[in-house]
Amino acid sequence: MSLGQLALHIASLPDNLSRMAQLEEFDASHANFEQPSPASVEEILTTHDASLGVAQEYFGSVDEQTLQGSWRLTFRGNEVFTAPRSEVIRSIMLNHLYHHRGQLSVYMRLLDVPVPVIYGRSADENPFA
């Protein structure tokens, strides 16, 4: 992915994955893995804000019974795995986000853009300033 495609993908993940978590089953053969290119930084920021709103709405209303319910990933009708929805949210949603944020930090480093705080200070921050 280009830097813009990656940034837009990260911005849309909360929306896309919270919508996916609401399903009982997702067939990965229907997924579109072609990432669009954003027209502007504003599109990425607007997408991110809207995406967070969708995720906040879902996670603010989901109950424990739903979170512990089964969720299935299939491919062309064949089961890949079944797991509690809460585990799917953790493994697919959060780990997927961490993975792509790591990729984004590599792009930033290659472009000499200071890497922001991710899990604590980055090497680009002076702790004494």
**The pLDDT of residue 125:** 72
Q: How many domains does the chain fold into?
A: 1
Q: What is the tens place of the pLDDT at every residue in 7-60?
A: 999 999 999 999 999 999 999 999 888 899 999 999 999 999 999 999 999 999
Q: What is the tens place of the pLDDT at every residue in 56-109?
A: 999 999 999 999 999 999 999 999 999 999 999 888 778 888 899 889 999 998
| Nearest to 38, CA basis, from 60, 66, 8 | 8
Q: Is residue 125 part of a domain?
A: no
* Alpha-carbon span 69 to 20, nearest angstrom: 14
Q: Is residue 83 part of a domain?
A: yes
Q: Is residue 16 part of a domain?
A: yes
Enclosing domain of residue 76: 3-110
